[in-house]
Structure 1
Amino acid sequence: MSTANVNVNANGDCSGGWTCEHRLKALYNMVKFREAVKGTTVHNWWTNNANQIAFSRGSKGFVAINAETSHNLDAYLQTGLRGGMYCDVISGSHNVCSGIRIVVRSDGVARITIPQNAHSAVIVIHVDTMYTGK
């Protein structure tokens, strides 16, 4: 029996396929999302009736997905979150706001834009990702 080598990219992500998927930044950050939205249910369901969806988890988290191959997602959507700036945990790090920043208005609505050809077709924000200037 042998253990496969762990290959790590310059950005710290694992590049070893199934060798170290548990180390992928997005998966780690989704565990943090799960912890943040624990005890909530789906609200503010939205769809374009094709391959784009978005929903909030109560007032604690928000997810948007664009699986369209020929259309951008560009819509003003209810996030369920309080107003402020949030850091997307899929495109950035959980502890540092290094990815996409989403501005949520005081009414909970944010403009969500995910291009059809985006590297990541998912945006995820939650109460623990409010930008504080760090």
Structure 2
Amino acid sequence: AILIFPIMMNLAIAAVTAADPRLVPTLKSLGAKSTTLTIQVAKQTRFIMLAAIITGFGRAIGEVGAAMMVGGNIEGYTRTMTTAIALETSKGEFETGLALGLLLLAIAFLINFILSCLQQQK
């Protein structure tokens, strides 16, 4: 989370600053409350925010070294899928490592497919 937060925050800030600059003043002149402003800005930037979340997820699943150093790779507590792949292949359990790798790849493809479908709805 520590490594991913700055990337996601920068993407979120870029999304909000890329929003139409006339949106907030227009809504304020119409008497909109802060919750309405927040909802409308979120609606306008939802795809960029979703891309930021997906980028953060991709970065998180790819951080094998950092996860092993910080988390310690303790089974049931801090083991992630990428650290499990590294552990299994280092033990010579290539079948298990390959199966976990294919599962992780399938998850990544599924998330990219969902993101693509959401972007086409735009």
TM-score category of the 2 structures, normalised to the smaller one: under 0.3
Larger-gyration structure (1/2)? 2
More helix per residue: 1 or 2? Answer: 2
More strand per residue: 1 or 2? Answer: 1
TM-score w.r.t. structure 2 length? 0.25
